[in-house]
Structure 1
Amino acid sequence: MFLKSDRYISRQISVTAFYAVLILSVVLVLGNIFKEINELLVERRAPISFLGIFVLKLLPVSLVFTIPWGFLAAVLLVFGRLSSDQEINSLRTAGMGLYRIASPILFMGLLLSLLCLWLNATVSPRSKGELKVMLYETFKEDPLRLLDPGVVQSRLTGQRIYIESRNSDDSFQGFHAYELGADEISEWPVGYLYARDVASITPDKEVEKLELRLSGVWLEKYNEEQPIQQGAAGEIEPWILPLAAGKSRRVKANRLDNKQISELLANPPTNLTVEKLAEFDAERIRRISFSFAPLALAFVGIPLGLSARRKETSSGSGMSLGVAVVYFLFFIIADETQGSSLILTKVLMWVPNLACLALGTFLFRRATKRA
């Protein structure tokens, strides 16, 4: 039976959680915008309108983290206030136990967990994949953005491009191209090309490439076991820059939803190693486990809020930050163990939820005995 007290507590939690999630989401989205704005607007020269699309696609990703954290903060603040105002004691005097008082909030945590599961397993990975595709398509519509002067372009796999200046007729001066090799982790490039002038540029969108006509060319080839190989050429035509190289062709776990990952694991491609398949499986389990954060954190947050017995928001905010950091830390540790043991990784990913359930049960019993 849904009592008036249930509606009262649920309304308090809902309003507080809404504002907490809103504030945290704005902070997280703005942080990501400031982090990526240089690459989006300077290096990739994306239009300003793309920032709006970027925010919309990034919002589901941020909600996966802000919903559990905001809900935890709301639980701590509201139950701390109810406890300090003796409202919890009044309900218990009327014959309601702590578990009964907390039941609508735990049910709300379950509903939020299902929402997070949908976001985490379906919406968030699709948003990441769609954002990458949209950014690539925007770039492909105007491939000359790749050659904006004064910016080191790093979007082509295995290459770094730098242009000194651009003329009014869209020709360039001072063309520098560094070849990094397939792994891109070497400290030194494996090759270098300099051209005094880029006299002609032919964008070819059908085959996704730029054909350049270079003049005043200087070439260098580096090899640790051999002397530097150098050479000069009056002209090179065409010099090909493959645009498709800027679009990652590797299958990444964070851009596939759980259904796609399950299908991939059922029929694995031949080019994926056992270690890579284990990484996909671990990502699928991590999403499911992490989605139950609102319910797990509510088990801990309710008795902690009762024990705080303060009206100050600083107490609840600080406590929610500490609990959330410890909870998220377990997932970071689990991610670090992926290379050693898949079974250990899966176990560690469920440890935070089980630990919150055990700790919450202990704190509930202790609070019941103290009353």
Structure 2
Amino acid sequence: MKLLSRYLLKELVIPLVVWVVFLFILLFVMQFLRGTDVILGSAVTLEDLGQLMFYLAPHFLMMALPIAFLLAILLGLGRLSEDREITALQALGIGPVQLLAGPMAIGAVLAALMLLLTSTAEPWGLTSVKEFVAEIIKKNVVGDVKSGVFYEDLSNLTLYAETVDDEEHRWTNVLLHDDREPSSALLMLARNGRVNTNTAGQVLTLELGDGEAHRADPSAASYAVVSFQQGDIAVGVEGSMGRRNRFRSPKEELTPSELLQAADEARRTGGDPRPFLMSLHNRLGHALAPLSFALLGTPLAIGRRQGGRAWGYLLTLGGYVLFYLLMRFFEQMGQQGKMPVVLAGQLANILFCVAGLVAMYRVSRSGTVR
């Protein structure tokens, strides 16, 4: 049995690792393409890309591990079935139930790993990504403002500098049009200016010197002009530049204890705690998905004869899409109070386990031949 266990582990672990790496790279490329306006800014370096990948790694692993595991089961054990090795094992008295031990053991390890990631590393990584991208956006503003070119990547702000000192990143003869309050737009003209990237958090500051601020109020038919020696314009990265920062997912940035605290606070203030509790149990259900995938994927893999890899790819895609849709549907039911949040978070896993038990019973009764 030890020889058989090592053989099955080899058939499952190697494709699992390969597919995790492939899906991880695919997810990063997809995120890269979504955030090219930030990631391909003038201030971004290869070191920044490596740091970004490091922060996103726990989140991508949470997405890649379940589907890679299901794919490894369907392709690995499916190959044994196609090559009649399962039939040979049955002739030696090794039934489908005994073959389930290997996938379930790997599924348990993956579930433990995912529980650890979703409780610690994933919230930390997503929070770090949010702060890191905000800093990149600040640095990009410094490098993207060019002499004689209107810069409009700041939402509702238009910036123009006649000349830009690329070494000291200072501007001369600056025009800034602030349209964040359409009813009373602000026009600022200054002899010099720069971006202060040392401000913490989701805010950058545009510092202007020796200039005038013009504001018109159409409702009062008034026009005001104010001279200044030093003027600071604060720009919120999350607000004014939020359209460029796509690396956001607030509830996933909270640890389980923080979600529970948020739910308790919502109860005390008369709010609805269900969204926070549903997020917690939904995260738990996703972390336990490898166990239900192992229980369902094993009989599906060993009970087939034809179809090859195409069959495995199709089942994997269909199975994961179905699991995701069920998770989303039950999540909405839980948030609306139509079912307990504990049940809503685990019902997709329960349904997959029931389907797996039925499939395992049929394979055990009829053998692997169809």
What range is the shorter-chain TM-score in? Answer: 0.7 to 0.9
User: Would the alpha carbon gap of residues 231 and 344 (structure 1) be closer, same or farther in structure 2, given more than 3 Å must change?
Assistant: farther
Show structure 2 runs of 5+ residues with no match. Answer: 166-170, 240-247
Could you tell me how far 1:345 is from its partner in structure 2? 4.7
Q: Is the 8 A contact 2:139 2:197 kept in 1?
A: no
Whole-angstrom distance in 2 between the partners of 1:35 and 1:242: 26
3-state SS in 2 of match to 1:11: helix
User: Would the alpha carbon gap of residues 172 and 56 (structure 1) be closer, same or farther in structure 2, given more than 3 Å must change?
Assistant: farther
User: Would the alpha carbon gap of residues 38 and 72 (structure 1) be closer, same or farther in structure 2, given more than 3 Å must change?
Assistant: same
2:225 to 219, 233, 247: 233
Could you tell me how far 1:341 is from its partner in structure 2? 2.1
3-state SS in 2 of match to 1:308: coil
Structure 1 match to 2:68: 70
1:361 aligned onto 2:353: no
Whole-angstrom distance in 2 between the partners of 1:265 and 1:280: 6
User: Would the alpha carbon gap of residues 22 and 251 (structure 1) be closer, same or farther in structure 2, given more than 3 Å must change?
Assistant: closer
Q: Is the 8 A contact 2:142 2:195 kept in 1?
A: no
Q: Is the 8 A contact 1:173 1:196 kept in 2?
A: yes
Structure 2 match to 1:303: 299
Equivalences for residues 196-345 of structure 1 within 5 A: 196-197=189-190, 199-201=192-194, 203=196, 205=198, 209-213=205-209, 215=211, 217-220=213-216, 227=219, 231-233=223-225, 235=227, 238-242=230-234, 245-246=236-237, 252-265=250-263, 268=265, 274-275=271-272, 277-310=273-306, 312-337=308-333, 339-341=335-337, 343-345=339-341
Structure 2 match to 1:25: 24
1:86 aligned onto 2:84: yes
3-state SS in 1 of match to 2:116: helix
Structure 2 match to 1:186: none
Structure 1 match to 2:152: 152
Structure 1 match to 2:243: none
Q: Which amino acid in structure 2 is aligned with residue 49 of structure 1?
A: E
Q: Is the 8 A contact 1:109 1:298 kept in 2?
A: yes
User: Would the alpha carbon gap of residues 134 and 342 (structure 1) be closer, same or farther in structure 2, given more than 3 Å must change?
Assistant: farther
Whole-angstrom distance in 1 between the partners of 2:25 and 2:53: 10
Whole-angstrom distance in 2 between the partners of 1:306 and 1:87: 10
Show structure 1 runs of 5+ residues with no match. Answer: 181-188
Q: Which amino acid in structure 2 is aligned with residue 241 of structure 1?
A: I
Q: Is the 8 A contact 1:212 1:239 kept in 2?
A: yes
**Alignment: residue pair count:** 349
Could you tell me how far 1:133 is from its partner in structure 2? 2.6
Could you tell me how far 1:219 is from its partner in structure 2? 3.0
3-state SS in 1 of match to 2:132: helix
Q: TM-score, normalised by structure 2?
A: 0.81
Aligned alpha-carbon RMSD (Å): 3.4
1:50 aligned onto 2:52: no
Identity, % of aligned positions: 19
User: Would the alpha carbon gap of residues 262 and 33 (structure 1) be closer, same or farther in structure 2, given more than 3 Å must change?
Assistant: same
Could you tell me how far 1:333 is from its partner in structure 2? 2.4
3-state SS in 2 of match to 1:179: coil
Whole-angstrom distance in 2 between the partners of 1:35 and 1:49: 19
Could you tell me how far 1:232 is from its partner in structure 2? 4.8
Q: Which amino acid in structure 1 is aligned with residue 233 of structure 2?
A: L
User: Would the alpha carbon gap of residues 61 and 175 (structure 1) be closer, same or farther in structure 2, given more than 3 Å must change?
Assistant: same
Could you tell me how far 1:147 is from its partner in structure 2? 6.3
User: Would the alpha carbon gap of residues 200 and 76 (structure 1) be closer, same or farther in structure 2, given more than 3 Å must change?
Assistant: closer
3-state SS in 2 of match to 1:240: strand
Q: TM-score, normalised by structure 1?
A: 0.81
Whole-angstrom distance in 1 between the partners of 2:143 and 2:339: 46
Could you tell me how far 1:367 is from its partner in structure 2? 1.0
